[in-house]
Amino acid sequence: MLGLDALQLALNESETVSNTLTSSLAEVLKRRLSGESVARIIGHREFYGLDFGLNAATLEPRPDTELLIDLALDVLPEGGRLLDMGTGTGCIPIALLVNRPDAGAVATDLNMEALAQAGDNARRHGVERRLTLLLGDWFGALGSEERFDLILSNPPYIESAVVETLAAEVKDFDPLLALDGGPDGLAPYRVIAAGAGDWLRDGGRVMVEIGFDQGEAVSALFAAAGFEAISVHKDLAGLDRVVSAHHLKGAKAS
Ligand SMILES: C[S@@+](CC[C@H](N)C(=O)[O-])C[C@H]1O[C@@H](n2cnc3c(N)ncnc32)[C@H](O)[C@@H]1O
């Protein structure tokens, strides 16, 4: 707000702050006290070492999701194509494209404002020519016959009844569309497991972020859809965080 970095702040600590600035600061403090996060107030948040702009339609990127990037970087082939569904700020495909200049991506979301923010973030990080943004409901957003090496998603996965019980910082400020995964929190995974096989190349993989207690249920959905080599990966806190599944030749999603 003052436009000063830490050093300038220390050097100018005896300067008087104007009344206008004092009242803006009071306004910001009021927002913070109501539960709004610092990232929402300043309008951006760091993810995978990159800065992402936020708007009211986007989830704040979380450090938990960085595991998905690490795993994806390990398996994405040279010149690979990836699909990210429910992209929000675009943090997943943009972090991958910045780290893999050979790769290309498609990202979808049901919310137009979220896609606009993802577009801004893609330009901010110089990957806009390698990222196609599409509006629509999960696979319904895709129009072409393209097939992907990797399908990623951090879908909404909170049970509907639990959303209201979340901390104010989340339930009052993160968009409901980014949180609510239906009555059992698994609705988006059912759609992704049923459809992913039709959009993957043989040998391709799907990787989804999950809630800490959803590993078994989400693995079972991918197994039922014909995926193989299904594994659950833990985050740095030791909690189940990502399910990955392999689409082997001839595998058919049911
Ligand atoms: C948990 S947020 C994840 C956002 C971002 N990928 C991240 O990791 O920070 C889920 C995203 O899915 C989007 N979404 C919800 N329902 C959708 C649907 N039916 N089709 C496509 N996207 C959807 C939301 O708008 C939101 O951006």
pLDDT at 250: 55
pLDDT, tens digit, 9 for 90 and up, residues 24-38: 889 999 999 999 999
The alpha carbon of 181 and the centre of ligand 1 are apart by a number of angstroms equal to: 10
What confidence tens digit (pLDDT) does each residue in 120-168 have?
A: 999 999 999 999 999 999 999 998 778 999 999 999 999 999 999 999 9
Write the pLDDT tens digit of every residue in 165-178.
999 999 999 999 99
CATH number reported for the structural domain that contains residue 103 in this entry: 3.40.50.150
Answer yes or no: is 47 within a domain: no
> Is the predicted pLDDT of residue 203 greater than 80, yes or no?
yes
Residue 111 belongs to domain spanning: 56-246
Contact 120, 177 (CB under 8 A): no
Confidence of residue 248 (pLDDT cuts 50, 70, 90): confident
Q: 202 lies in a domain?
A: yes
Residue positions counted in the chain:
254
Q: What are the pLDDT digits (tens) for 64-119? A: 999 999 999 999 999 999 999 999 999 999 999 999 999 999 999 999 999 999 99
Any domain includes 24: no
**Which residue among 59, 92, 115, 180 has the greatest number of ligand 1 atoms within 8 angstroms of its CB, and so is best to mutate?**
59
**H helix runs in the chain, sequence order:** 6-11, 19-33, 38-42, 66-75, 91-99, 112-124, 160-163, 168-171, 187-199, 215-224
Pick from 111, 138, 160 the residue to mutate for probing ligand 1's pocket: most ligand atoms within 8 Å of its CB. Answer: 111
Residue 252 has pLDDT above 50, yes or no: no
Q: How many domains does the chain have?
A: 1
28 within a domain of the structure (yes/no): no
